[in-house]
Amino acid sequence: MNFVEKLVSASGKNNSLVCVGLDVDRKLMPENISVLEFNKAIIEATSDLVCAYKPNFAFYEAMGNVGLEALKKTVEYIPENILTIADAKRGDIGNTSKAYADAIFTHFKFDAVTVSPYLGFDSVQPFMQHKDKGIFILCRTSNAGAADFQSLVSEVDGKEMPLFEIVAMKAEEWNTNGNIGLVVGATYPEELKIIRQAHPHMPLLIPGIGAQGGDLETTVRYGVDSKGELAVINSSRQIIYASKEKDFALAARQAALTLRDRINIQRGKLKK
């Protein structure tokens, strides 16, 4: 099963476009629980409600080897039928990107990864060569600084386009193995609409709803493909830190369920 098939299968089985961001933060977690125990409890409570889990490497690296060991065991613990996305935003020259791809796909055994496009084709290619794995290229990120460079307009093939659209166009060109998707933040709905219209068949990983402020209904309307699929809508803090008390797993389940249902109501409206 390749990456897109796994995504469609997971979102179909659980009737869900929800991705849970496993961005662990000791200050926000209940006390007296290890990172791995916390993640396991979150996964147990939500794995029938989501299509993907997306741990961000930064939070694990900040804990040193203890964190990275917990990350590896977390990936192992995620049920086989759910997509695992390494939010790593890597990107380096060819032989170095190859080592990153080995780390993420071979050592950690993730199904997919986020990569940064700044270094161009040969920085993405070593990831793409893992044909059964998925590569989400940063296109329009969800943060305030996104516009600093991603909105700069250049002329390509006689047409003026902002950088993030050029990145998406190039990503589509590079996508000969059918395993590339794009990261587009929910905080920029007009940009999300443009990208979905220009790339109707690419999976979109969409962060930025919830704590970051992206509107959910607009995100669903602009983000899904013509079948109401291929959008991976991420929520991190709003789900995993729904409660800091002993009931955190149950609270996470409730938050994931609410988000899934709100998304599905919107998907239902689109089908009409």
Note whether 72 binds a copy of itself by CB under 8 A. Answer: yes
Note whether 69 binds a copy of itself by CB under 8 A. Answer: yes
Q: How far apart are CA 72 and CA 229, in angstroms?
A: 29
Note whether 157 binds a copy of itself by CB under 8 A. Answer: no
Residues binding a copy of itself: number (CB under 8 A)? 57
Note whether 158 binds a copy of itself by CB under 8 A. Answer: no
Among 96, 175, 218, 258, binds a copy of itself (CB under 8 A): 96
The DSSP string of 178-208 is S-EEEEE-TT-HHHHHHHHHH-TTS-EEE--
From 2-10, 134-142, 245-253, 260-268, span contacting a copy of itself (CB under 8 A): 134-142
Taking the complex as a whole, the smallest distance from the CB of residue 270 to a copy of itself amounts, in Å, to: 28
Q: Which residues are catalytic?
A: 89
Note whether 4 binds a copy of itself by CB under 8 A. Answer: no
Helices (H) and strands (E) in the chain — how many of each? 12, 10
Note whether 102 binds a copy of itself by CB under 8 A. Answer: yes
Beta bridge partners of 113: 86, 135
Q: Which of 129, 111, 164 is nearest to 3 (CA)?
A: 111
The sign of the dihedral angle between the CA atoms of 129, 94, 122, 120 is positive
Taking the complex as a whole, the smallest distance from the CB of residue 1 to a copy of itself amounts, in Å, to: 25
Among 34, 81, 109, 149, binds a copy of itself (CB under 8 A): 149
Nearest-10 crossing angle of helices 248-271, 35-46: 40
Half-sphere CA count of 257, side-chain side, radius 13 A: 8
Note whether 127 binds a copy of itself by CB under 8 A. Answer: no
Q: How far apart are CA 251 and CA 233, in angstroms?
A: 19
Point out which residues bind a copy of itself (CB under 8 A): 23, 56, 58-59, 61-65, 68-69, 72, 87, 89-94, 96-97, 99-100, 102-103, 106-107, 116-124, 138, 141-150, 152-156, 163, 166-167, 170, 212
